[in-house]
Structure 1
Amino acid sequence: MKRKSFFLALLLATATVAGGGVGESAFVFAAQANQAVKDYQNHVHKADIEYAVKNQLMWLFPDGNFRPDQTITQADLVVGLVQVKGLKEGVAIKDFPAGHWAKTYYERAVKDGILKDVAVEPNKVLTREEAAFLVINAWESVRKSRTRKDSELFKNHSYIQYTVSSGWIVPKEGHFPNGVLTNKFDSKTLVNRGDAASSLRKLHEDYIGIQDAEIIFNQFHQSLTLSKGVLSGFIPNNGKYSLNINFYGQKVQDYEKVGKFSLNISNYSEMIIRIVRKGEAVPLVYNQYANLPEDLKYKSIRW
């Protein structure tokens, strides 16, 4: 059964079923599905499924069900990743299946690098290892995941090992690519829609968190002044995120109080800014000022 673009459903407010491109079937949105029987009501990924549908990362079928145990295709995951990142621009793809419902999303994925070194096979059912490869590509522009995965430290890890350890794909017992048993890094099982919803939610929350944190950092950076070894500025107060400053030089000092501050940094040569969700440890912003006390140039060192 072919699926169609769920954005058209937003335009057809009076329609029960969304349509687009070619084909005859589509899916139902969350507002419509509230009136339908849900086949994921008691599913382990119920919250993830509701999040994915609400944020238009995945969809419900016309009968109101999600089919959490149904396997996903390459097109399903590519569309989800494009939606997670809110990609709008694309480039033409040669020899793409004529009339395929996911063509526009593949064009955006190609431009973003999601499909780097990936054969375009939209109807191919994905193993966890193949899905992990796409996720790593997608997150290169966000957390330099491809660069890091290909580094000396991680180059011998399977793709699923890297993504499960990063928290982007759920662990599952099975086998590594070489056939060796593993209790959580299974590479060979086919990916189902419930697990895909979990992954897309985690990636979307990470992406949104980074965007929010970048806004907070820009407010902080624009407030900074440096004069005669004294750094002054303002740390915004935010209920969801915390900003921490680490100074390095002749000694180490941490600072994380919100509001205005003025500090003598003449004995420091480096400042690291970390912004995290409160209660979490993974940095959403991780920026380095490496030329103190001379100037306030910085670079991102986030993984």
Structure 2
Amino acid sequence: MRKTMIIGMMLLALGIEQSVSAAGANFNDIEGHWAQSGIEYMVEQGAISGYPDGTFRPDGTITRSEFSKILSEVIDAKDEKNAFADTEGHWAESSINGLVDEGIIVKSEYPYGYGPDKNITRLEISKMVARGLAQESPLWKAVLTEFQQLPAINLPFNDQDKMKLSDVPYIALANSSGIVNGYVDGTFKMDKSASRAEATVMLKRFLDAKNKKPVLSELLEKFKGEPNIHKFSKSQLEAWIDKEADIERLSKLPINHYTGTSLAENHDALIYPMGHNSSTNDTELVTQAMNDMVGFMNLYENLDYRTIGDAWKNQIRRYYSKDFTYGGVYYSAADLPKLFDVYVKQVKSGKYIQESFFVTDLSLTFKQKKTEDSRTDYIVRMTEYTRFTTDPGLAGVELNKWYKRDIDVRYMQNLWGDRVSWDTADNLYAGYTVVTPYKEVKGK
């Protein structure tokens, strides 16, 4: 009875277009509507009303503030501490503040303000009711926690690939609790504005779900899926991979040195060039060199024709200082800006997109001399993770899939030699050698 009174008071209090009580009334626009029974139930309970013209307007939209006001009353969340600059003085301010205080609205998801009078989406409702349900029920909180720890979730919606991985556990909870379902075409339509009918039915289901006793093992079995790694964003993949395993594997790969194949020994020779004496430890300098090489590779192997331009050219010039030959064309030191123009033009004309990140460690830096009389190369060994959105012209590499390979990135110039000619440059990048070829990234 209490829940009916709460919702009734709140929906009536919204005063949308002077809505009036319609308990027991027959609306002239819900006959045959998918939400008819839910709307009629809520009306019979005195929980919601229609409009003076006898309509309910089930397909009309509902705003963030309107939904927030109702939900805050259902879970008794009010706060006077202002959460958003654009809700100060708003009629739903204390309700919105209360939901923020309870963690049901997350401020970081609205970096430019809450936009209280904007229509609320199905995704926003799903996240709010999932967090609210977890707040109200320890059993549902356990379900949400376990969903968030699953390596992958399989939702019954054919547009799941459009969802952020971080949003999926909330949608899974909203769906598994029976609060939010999909459409007959198999889609969830997360960005679609929720309707009055949807909001009415979802709030009814929210109240019903609080009294359910979910069986955690059954829900985990139902929603557990296999991670589709190739759908991961770069940051998601970087967080998911086992970097320590990469570093260990890299350390065991042989090097081409005339005295032997031990990376560790030649790492020591780089860190302690004068011998094993802590007073001549060049860790700081070599660490800077390693970070420089990672910085260069991040620029060189992360390309997007839609954004590349002057900012990229100003960054890449840091790694070039002397004459350079590219594509059979010689560029003097003074002509290097023309080389960068060529790079940018090629990326733009080919509509090239490549994402990459790199895994390395100070222990993977070393000296290398292929013969006793050859020059000394200074090497940083790395694993590169890459995904191409446009054809890179590499055999066996498919678009939109993550691949990994191991590379040795080398300096041309001695780390302890003179600085190069440009004020911002510390060393001259020379190139990289492929140690192991591209392999498709697989599940753990």
Question: Which among 185, 189, 195 is matched to residue 192 of structure 1?
Answer: 195
The residue number in structure 1 matching 2:104 is: 114
- TM-score norm. by structure 1 comes to 0.50
Aligned partner of residue 100 in structure 1, secondary structure: coil
Separation in structure 2 between the aligned mates of residue 107 and residue 56 of structure 1, nearest angstrom: 27
Separation in structure 1 between the aligned mates of residue 22 and residue 151 of structure 2, nearest angstrom: 43
Conserved? CA contact 1:28–1:63, under 8 Å: no
**How much does 1:200 deviate?**
1.1
Indicate how the Cα distance of structure 1 residues 149 and 75 shifts in structure 2: closer, same or farther if over 3 A, else same. Answer: farther
The structure with the largest helix share of the pair is 2
Separation in structure 2 between the aligned mates of residue 137 and residue 57 of structure 1, nearest angstrom: 23
Separation in structure 2 between the aligned mates of residue 19 and residue 189 of structure 1, nearest angstrom: 26
Conserved? CA contact 1:29–1:59, under 8 Å: yes
Aligned partner of residue 147 in structure 1, secondary structure: helix
Conserved? CA contact 1:116–1:137, under 8 Å: no
Question: Which among 58, 61, 66 is matched to residue 56 of structure 2?
Answer: 66
Separation in structure 1 between the aligned mates of residue 49 and residue 115 of structure 2, nearest angstrom: 21
What pairs up with 1:257-296 in 2 under 5 angstroms? Answer: 282=214
What pairs up with 1:1-16 in 2 under 5 angstroms? Answer: none
Separation in structure 2 between the aligned mates of residue 40 and residue 134 of structure 1, nearest angstrom: 27
Separation in structure 1 between the aligned mates of residue 127 and residue 16 of structure 2, nearest angstrom: 31
Conserved? CA contact 2:105–2:128, under 8 Å: yes
Question: Which among 124, 132, 135 is matched to residue 130 of structure 1?
Answer: 124
**How much does 1:104 deviate?**
3.2
Structure 2 residue 19 is the aligned partner of structure 1 residue 27: yes
Aligned partner of residue 33 in structure 2, secondary structure: coil
Conserved? CA contact 2:72–2:78, under 8 Å: no
The residue type equivalent to 2:132 in the other structure is: A
**How much does 1:185 deviate?**
3.1
Which of the pair has more CA radius of gyration?
Answer: 2
Indicate how the Cα distance of structure 1 residues 74 and 40 shifts in structure 2: closer, same or farther if over 3 A, else same. Answer: same
Work out which structure has the larger RCO, using CA pairs closer than 8 Å and 6 or more positions apart in sequence.
Answer: 1
Separation in structure 2 between the aligned mates of residue 162 and residue 283 of structure 1, nearest angstrom: 12
The residue number in structure 1 matching 2:177 is: 166
The residue number in structure 1 matching 2:357 is: none
Structure 2 residue 144 is the aligned partner of structure 1 residue 152: no
Separation in structure 2 between the aligned mates of residue 51 and residue 83 of structure 1, nearest angstrom: 20
The residue number in structure 2 matching 1:201 is: 204
Indicate how the Cα distance of structure 1 residues 52 and 81 shifts in structure 2: closer, same or farther if over 3 A, else same. Answer: farther
The residue type equivalent to 1:140 in the other structure is: A
Conserved? CA contact 1:74–1:123, under 8 Å: yes
Aligned partner of residue 49 in structure 1, secondary structure: helix
Q: Which region of structure 1 is more displaced relative to structure 2, 69-78 or 52-61?
A: 52-61
Question: Which among 71, 75, 79 is matched to residue 90 of structure 1?
Answer: 79
Q: Which region of structure 1 is more displaced relative to structure 2, 144-153 or 53-62?
A: 53-62
The residue number in structure 2 matching 1:224 is: none
The residue type equivalent to 1:128 in the other structure is: R
Aligned partner of residue 75 in structure 1, secondary structure: helix
The residue number in structure 1 matching 2:160 is: none
Indicate how the Cα distance of structure 1 residues 140 and 201 shifts in structure 2: closer, same or farther if over 3 A, else same. Answer: same
Tell me, which stretches of 5 or more residues in structure 1 are unaligned? 1-5, 11-17, 175-182, 211-275, 277-281, 285-303
What RMSD over aligned residues (CA atoms) do the two structures have, in Å?
3.5
Aligned partner of residue 170 in structure 1, secondary structure: coil
Conserved? CA contact 1:19–1:25, under 8 Å: no
The residue type equivalent to 2:118 in the other structure is: K
Aligned partner of residue 30 in structure 1, secondary structure: coil
Identity across aligned pairs (percent)?
25
The residue type equivalent to 2:175 in the other structure is: V
Tell me, which stretches of 5 or more residues in structure 2 are unaligned? 154-164, 217-444
Conserved? CA contact 1:84–1:203, under 8 Å: no
Indicate how the Cα distance of structure 1 residues 98 and 60 shifts in structure 2: closer, same or farther if over 3 A, else same. Answer: farther
Cα deviation code 1:254-303 (max 9, x no counterpart): xxxxxxxxxxxxxxxxxxxxxx6xxxxx469xxxxxxxxxxxxxxxxxxx
Aligned partner of residue 87 in structure 2, secondary structure: coil
Separation in structure 1 between the aligned mates of residue 63 and residue 13 of structure 2, nearest angstrom: 20
The residue type equivalent to 1:66 in the other structure is: F
The number of equivalent residue pairs is 187
**How much does 1:136 deviate?**
1.8
Cα deviation code 1:1-44 (max 9, x no counterpart): xxxxx98x96xxxxxxx778xx994321233x72x744223322
The residue type equivalent to 1:124 in the other structure is: K
Cα deviation code 1:90-117 (max 9, x no counterpart): 2422424354332232233223322124
Conserved? CA contact 1:57–1:200, under 8 Å: no
**How much does 1:204 deviate?**
1.0
The residue number in structure 1 matching 2:381 is: none
The residue type equivalent to 2:20 in the other structure is: V
